[in-house]
Chains A and B, each alone.
Chain A
């Protein structure tokens, strides 16, 4: 049996319901949450501010520091030990590289913009939610940027390409009601700049065919444009609804 009907009844090219809001953390310079299904990401932006230690300073431009943290009971299994672990460090690094191409900090040499993303609950696609939340928070902080960065995952479940996999889909053979053809589930998180279609971040987990990969990338980049609109609306709504917090 191939994967014809999704576990939560969505269409193949449909994401989980998205909710985004800017200005949710009072003490931050810019902040936002981005909720996609049961995955919630809160982002706070601080800066630009002077960077210490000084050897990290870049006299040509300001830099971005990204911190991705999953909260202790955010996962599906046991309590996650708080603080940066190997996985969180890697995701922080790729997220920082996904955001950097759109941000123009040439006017702020020797400075840093700190982005802190925390996830109170996660159900797959957490790095994508983190990147989306971070770019809303950056815009909210008034940092000059070419465009929003939108991010979504696409993957292959039992030989079918679908968008924005949930945790149950990522572990499909375990949750399947029918016999599966292929034990492989693969997943590609993609971040892109919607106005140019450039991809700033792409990772892959699992195995898939060439054609499936092309289709997955196409699905995800198209969806990114819609997500970017939601992100922009979130920033605007803060000012339309009498001042956010």
Chain B
């Protein structure tokens, strides 16, 4: 008798648990496809089976997008990858900045972000024109003048969004001559490609020197004839990066414009100086 009494409540408990589980599982419902474009306010999923991550939030039992982006699912986690917006500085990013102000001991750089970056005179790697180009006290504009473009690396981003950069390091320098273009920050990984494949293809086809900053500022130095082709190629990548088959299209575009065939290239970066840091 005692045994039965003990077992009965256990059975009941187990049944209850099963029921609860069933109800819980039937709730989850996904309303978007993977890799689709979502906009703020769009309901992505209902129920508690899915988890919100970057660019999404939970409201009661719904997961809603709060940014324009491409949806990316990792298991049950819903994340939206941003497609527009300003650059967020991150440590170790290599970026291109423009000198907008010179203080007693530092340069302030505009970096296409909501905040400006500080380049301390101790972090300056010279302007690439000899020993005397290193900053001396009170004479910072001998190294970098106002409106100079500098290829630099982010050394730290504080909680209050103070961004520190350096120009000491391989490949980091002041940018002479050439042309600067601005692209969407979020398309930079596509312009660079896997291990720099895309940017190397453009370099190979046009013979340009090119630096792509993570902040969406691109520096080009080309022969005048091919400059327009390189810029067009970058714009094409920017506009069509979300449509599959990008590499082939860009290859075709470059071959057509330059009239030269692009050989099977390797992903190894050419050995010139401009590629370091990318």
Contact = CB atoms under 8 A, between A and B. Distances in A.
Interface of A: 29-30, 47-50, 59, 62, 102, 104, 108-111, 139-148, 194-196, 228, 232, 235-236, 239-240, 242-243
A30 B84 contact: yes
Contacts of B39: 139, 148, 232, 235-236
Task: Kindly name the residue among A29, A102, A243 whose own CB sees the greatest number of chain B CB atoms within 10 A.
Answer: A243
Interface in B38-58: 39-43, 55, 57
A110 B115 CA distance: 9
Interface of B: 37, 39-43, 55, 57, 59, 64, 66-69, 82-86, 114-116, 160-161, 186, 238-240, 242-243
A235 B86 contact: no
A147 B40 contact: yes
A111 B86 CA distance: 12
A69 B194 CA distance: 46
A220 B186 CA distance: 37
Given A139-B39, A142-B67, A146-B64, A49 B114 contact: yes
A142 B114 contact: no
Contacts of B67: 142-145
A148 B41 contact: yes
**Which secondary structure dominates where chain A touches chain B?**
loop
A148 B40 contact: yes
A155 B4 CA distance: 72
A140 B239 contact: no
A193 to B, nearest CB: 8
B84 A111 contact: no
Nearest to A107: B88
Contacts of A59: 160
A41 to B, nearest CB: 19
Contacts of B64: 146-147, 195
B68 A142 contact: yes
Contacts of A47: 86, 114
Contacts of A30: 84
A50 B109 CA distance: 13
A142 B82 contact: yes
Task: Kindly name the residue among A109, A228, A235 whose own CB sees the greatest number of chain B CB atoms within 10 A.
Answer: A235
**Which secondary structure dominates where chain B touches chain A?**
loop
B74 to A, nearest CB: 21
A194 B37 contact: no
Contact of A108 (B84, B114, B186): B114
Contacts of B242: 239
A195 B161 CA distance: 32
Nearest to A48: B114
A239 B83 contact: yes
A52 to B, nearest CB: 12
Contacts of B55: 144
Contact of A232 (B41, B66, B84): B41
A139 B86 contact: no
A77 B249 CA distance: 53
A148 B38 CA distance: 12
Nearest to A143: B85
Task: Kindly name the residue among B42, B43, B69 whose own CB sees the greatest number of chain A CB atoms within 10 A.
Answer: B42
B161 A147 contact: no
Contacts of A147: 40-41, 64
Contact of A194 (B41, B69, B85): B41
Nearest to B114: A48
Nearest to B116: A50
B239 A146 contact: no
Contacts of B41: 145-148, 194-195, 228, 232
B78 to A, nearest CB: 15
B113 to A, nearest CB: 9
B37 A111 contact: no
A32 B238 CA distance: 20
A109 B69 CA distance: 22
15 contacts: A30-B84, A50-B116, A108-B114, A139-B40, A139-B68, A142-B68, A142-B69, A143-B85, A144-B55, A146-B40, A195-B64, A232-B41, A239-B83, A242-B240, A243-B239
